[in-house]
Amino acid sequence: MGKCPNRKVKKRRFSHKTARLTKFLRKCDDAVYDELQKPDAEKKALPLEEDLPAMGQYYCLHCDRYFASLTVRDGHFKTKRHKKRLKQLVEAPHTQLDADLAAGMGMPDNGPKLMSI
């Protein structure tokens, strides 16, 4: 648990945000991008989950957020934040391979293919 900075009341010394940290964690860009690149056939219907708002049925894939109702979600689609996110996810995110190539390495050498698919 992290200490809360600048707290005048000495009794409540700890931040409660750290306890709920998972609530604020978002999927990383590359994970979201991979999800987006999947063909439609592979995408499954959203599973029912009790802990999430509205059983986790209203989900924004780009922003990795759950919403309470359809109207709220559609409202979210119109926001600046969501549109910015759409723009971000157009190009492929940076990967370790990109880093290697930028460092002056060639493409990885996997040898000849042993099995033909």
Partner 1 sequence: MRLEKCWFCSSIVYPGHGIQFVRNDAKIFRFCRSKCHKNFKMKRNPRKVKWTKAYRRLHGKDMTQDATFEFERKRNRPERYDRNLAENTLKAIKKIDKVRSDRAAGYIKKRLDKDKNKKQREAKKELEQGINLVKAPEAIRQDPSLTLPSKVKVQVQVEEKCHQMEE
**Of the two residues 31 and 36, which places its CB atom closer to partner 1 in the complex?**
31
- Between CA 50 and CA 80, with CA 56 as vertex, the angle to 5 degrees is 145
Annotate 54-92 with DSSP letters as a single string. Answer: GGG-EEETTTTEEESSHHHHHHHHTSHHHHHHHHHTSSP
Judged by the rule CB under 8 A, the positions of this chain that interact with partner 1 are: 28-31, 93-94, 96, 98-111
Q: Provide, rounded to whole angstroms, the least separation between the CB of residue 18 and partner 1.
A: 15
Q: Provide, rounded to whole angstroms, the least separation between the CB of residue 99 and partner 1.
A: 5
Q: Provide, rounded to whole angstroms, the least separation between the CB of residue 17 and partner 1.
A: 16
Q: Collapsing DSSP states into helix, strand and coil, what is residue 66?
A: strand
**Of the two residues 9 and 114, which places its CB atom closer to partner 1 in the complex?**
114
